[in-house]
């Protein structure tokens, strides 16, 4: 049965919690299905040209599970993910969040990351991300640690730019 969940919005304390690691993979299958169903629904209502991700806390579940889909449509279930390697280079990249769609910012992120995680069967694997997908992986893993993307900005929430004003913002103004 398809279960589309409401996405938790900015301001909810759930988004600030550090989430608990998964130890019983049989108990989380419904959460994974809910994340996938909700992503499928969101893709019908919004356009995500650079990929899409959704973390368990964004649907009210306090566990370390996220689903990330690349711009090419490859979807990864990431359970207890950890960034194990990064490039030496960070660059400003346009970032937003499903929990508050009306804002954007340029955030300095590593342009390449290697992530170690478990899949829905409890099998360990690694995935590498470059550019936009690297940003997405970092963003989703941050969610699992109670970190929101604007936490990486010098003035935090004050540096968020409304979507309608965002194209006029210069990358060179980013000092994070």
Both tokens of 164, joined, read 């309608």
Q: How sure is the predictor about 172, in pLDDT bands with cuts at 50, 70 and 90? A: very low
Question: Which residues are part of the catalytic machinery?
Answer: 140
* DSSP letter assigned to residue 143: H
Strands (E), the chain: 52-55, 65-69, 75-86, 90-95, 103-110, 112-118, 124-130, 161-162
Q: Token digits for 152?
A: 């990486």
Burial level of 59, CB count in 10 A (0-12/13-18/19+)?
A: buried
Domain locations in the chain as residue ranges: 13-173
Distances, alpha carbon 81 to alpha carbons 4, 47, 169, in Å: 24, 26, 32
Q: What is the pLDDT of residues 39-50, one digit of tens each?
A: 999 988 877 777
**CB-based contacts of 75, cutoff 8 Å, min separation 6:** 36, 39, 67, 68, 69
Radius of gyration in angstroms for the set of CA atoms belonging to the chain, rounded to a whole number = 15
Residue 61: the pLDDT is 97
Pick among 3.80.30.20, 2.40.50.100, 3.40.50.1820, 3.90.45.10: CATH of 13-173: 3.90.45.10
Q: Beta strand pairing status for 103-110 and 112-118?
A: unpaired
Q: What is the pLDDT of residues 114-157, one digit of tens each?
A: 999 999 999 999 999 999 999 999 999 999 999 999 999 999 98
Which are the contacts of 74, defined by CB distance < 8 A and separation ≥ 6?
Answer: none
Please report which confidence band the pLDDT of residue 175 belongs to, taking 50, 70 and 90 as the band edges.
very low
């Amino acid at each position: 049965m398809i279960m589309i969940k409401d996405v938790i919005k900015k301001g909810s304390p759930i988004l600030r919690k550090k989430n608990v690691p998964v130890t019983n993979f049989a108990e989380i299958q419904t959460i994974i299905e809910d994340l996938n169903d909700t992503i499928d629904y969101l893709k019908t209502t919004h356009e995500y040209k650079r990929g899409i991700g959704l973390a368990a806390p964004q649907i009210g579940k306090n566990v370390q599970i996220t689903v990330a889909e690349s711009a090419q449509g490859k979807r990864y279930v990431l359970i207890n993910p950890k960034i194990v390697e990064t490039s030496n280079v960070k660059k400003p990249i346009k970032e937003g969040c499903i929990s508050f769609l009306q804002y954007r910012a340029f955030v300095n992120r590593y342009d390449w990351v290697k992530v170690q995680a478990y899949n829905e069967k409890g099998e360990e694997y690694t995935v590498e991300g470059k550019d936009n997908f690297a940003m997405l992986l970092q963003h989703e893993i941050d969610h699992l640690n109670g970190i929101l993307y604007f936490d990486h900005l010098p003035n935090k929430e004050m540096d968020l730019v409304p979507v309608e004003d965002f194209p006029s913002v210069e990358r060179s103004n980013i000092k994070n």
